[in-house]
Structure 1
Amino acid sequence: MADKTKKYYFYVLLCADQTLYGGFTDDLARRLATHNAGKGAKYTRPKTRRPLKMIYHEVFNDKSSALKAEYAFKHQSRAAKLKYLAGHNVKI
């Protein structure tokens, strides 16, 4: 039986090279630490992209919804990503 109290997150990182990375996790602090240790996603491993700063996250009650939010974000242009973030009061 699934844990109904478990939360899932879609998050956005601002990389040191000013690029954006979107991901999903069930533990924001652990995931950010993993990315900053160079052991996260392939995109965030290069030293030129670190340190990374978490600039946005959304919480979901199920993994599927968090993954859908991540997918939708990743498949946008940078301009659309910036507009999305601005719409959620995130200033870069």
Structure 2
Amino acid sequence: MPTWFVYLIECRNGSIYTGIATDVERRYAEHVAGKGARYTRANPPLRLLARFEYPDRSTASRAEYAIKRLPRTRKRALCAEPSPGIPVTAATRSR
């Protein structure tokens, strides 16, 4: 069973894109090449901000959803926190 990651990318317009993948480097390269999500084709990525590891796709998807609901300032703070992963409930706690 593969390990899943939630990753955050800073885009040129200052926004933060959040996604999930099993291979973050490959997925980020797809975004940079313009073959990623529609959002990153329209708002090209500047850099990978963070990645958080999860044991399965379901948990990663729930965390992705919770992180997407956070304001940009909280997403940036989340990226600055030195942690190996973020529980789904922790992502919604500091809103």
Q: TM-score range by the shorter chain?
A: 0.7 to 0.9
Partner Cα distance (2:82, 2:17) in 1: 16
Q: Which residue of 2 aligns with 1:73?
A: 67
Q: Which runs of 4+ in 1 moved over 2 A?
A: 49-52, 82-89
| Residues in 2 aligned to 1:78 and 1:11: alpha-carbon distance in whole angstroms | 14
Aligned to 1:40: 36
1:80 shift after superposition = 2.3
Q: Compute the displacement of 1:84 (Å).
A: 2.3
Kept in 1, the 8 Å contact 2:9–2:45? The answer is no
Q: Distance in 1 between the 2:46 and 2:59 partners? A: 24
CA contact (8 A) 1:12 1:55 kept: yes
State the TM-score, normalized to the length of structure 1: 0.78
Which residue of 14, 18, 21 maps to 2:14? 18
- Percent of counterpart pairs with the same letter? 36
**What CA RMSD, in Å, does the superposition of the two structures yield over aligned residues?**
1.7
How far apart, CA to CA, are the structure 1 residues paired with 2:30 and 2:58?
22
Unaligned runs of at least 5 residues, structure 2: 84-95
Structure 1: gaps spanning 5 or more residues: none
Other structure's SS at 2:19 match: strand
What's the TM-score, normalizing by structure 2? 0.76
- Partner Cα distance (2:9, 2:57) in 1: 19
Is contact 2:67-2:75 (8 Å) kept? Answer: yes
SS at match of 1:43: helix
Does structure 1 conserve the Cα–Cα contact (< 8 Å) formed by 2:4 and 2:53? yes
The structure whose Rg is larger is 1
